[in-house]
Amino acid sequence: MSAPAPAAAGFSASIFDMDGLLIDSEILWHEAELEILGDLGVPLSRDACRGTKGMFVGEVTEYWFAQYPWAGPSPSEVAVTIVDRVIALLLSKGELKPGAEYAIGLCEERGLRLAVASSSQYRLIDTALEHFGLRHHFALVHSAEDEQWGKPHPAVFLTAAAKLGAAPRRCLVWEDAPAGVLAAKAASMACIAVPEHGEEHRPAFALADVVLGSLLDMDEERFDALSADAARTT
């Protein structure tokens, strides 16, 4: 196998979200939240779940507790239960998103350093990456668990870039959530957005540099054009 090409002039690192971008996990989160928060009396719907997409799970439970206070477990305890349930669902029926390995390969072929920067807890990230055989692709895994604020605050991406030794303007972010796109652009990073079906209308996606219907739509010509654009601004 030949060695990867030198890092493209425009990008030195590529940062991937995980939930909904690499892993088809949105439906798993919805199932867990509807089940667990519903049992606590929160009148959730799938559309309401989409409204908190990209937020750290502790922020999600605090958000719903503020609107529909429940008796019993604290929001932080409920967050643990939700993550436990998502992990179980992922191991039993989780799937990769179409093009996940293809997108990773595009970046590796260009010599970019790869990271996962996710709002999920480390235990879920690690379980998912190991389960799908993806962990070896990434030089770094970073969770908003270590940050004071989750997305749309840019902290999770800025910390990942710093740990990779990459300037923010030389980082390419891959995201599926509006909050993630906002975080990437607030970090002064290029962003490829892959909205879930039905969410393309969300205003945040207009800020992305490229919006795709699937990771498989990111061909080499478009990737290199985006890299060339980044080179002109760094």
The answer as to whether 3 is a domain residue is no
Does 1 map to a domain?
A: no
Q: Which of 60, 93, 126 is the last residue of a domain?
A: 93
Same domain (yes/no): 104, 217: yes
Pairwise CA distance, residues 27 & 49, whole Å:
10
Does residue 18 sit in the same domain as residue 49? no
Average of per-residue pLDDT values in the chain: 92
**From first to last of its 234 residues, what are the pLDDT tens digits of the chain?**
344 444 446 899 999 999 999 999 989 999 999 999 999 999 998 888 888 876 888 889 999 999 999 999 999 999 999 999 999 999 999 999 999 999 999 999 999 999 999 989 999 999 999 999 999 999 999 999 999 988 999 999 999 999 999 999 999 999 999 999 999 999 999 999 999 888 899 999 999 999 999 999 999 999 999 998 888 776
Position 132 in a domain: yes
User: At 52, which CATH number?
Assistant: 1.10.150.240
Does one domain contain both 119 and 35?
Answer: no
CA-CA distance, 140 to 135, in Å (whole number)?
9
Share of the chain above pLDDT 90, in %: 79
155 lies in a domain? yes
The answer to whether residues 185 and 205 belong to one domain is yes
Tens digit of each residue's pLDDT (9 = 90 or more) over 108-130: 999 999 999 998 999 999 999 99
Write out the catalytic residue numbers: 17, 19
- Do 224 and 127 share a structural domain? yes
Note down the domain range covering 138.
13-25+96-232
How many domains does one find in the chain?
2
Can you give the CATH number for the domain in which 154 is found? Answer: 3.40.50.1000
* Res 48: pLDDT: 85
| DSSP bridge pairs for 211 | 193
Residues forming beta bridges with residue 118, ordered by sequence position: 143
Kindly state whether residues 139 and 81 are assigned to the same domain. no
Question: Structure tokens of 74?
Answer: 């604290």
Specify the amino acid at residue 143.
S
89 and 145 co-located in one domain: no
- 89 and 101 assigned to the same domain: no
3-state secondary structure of 162: helix
Contact 19, 29 (CB under 8 A): yes
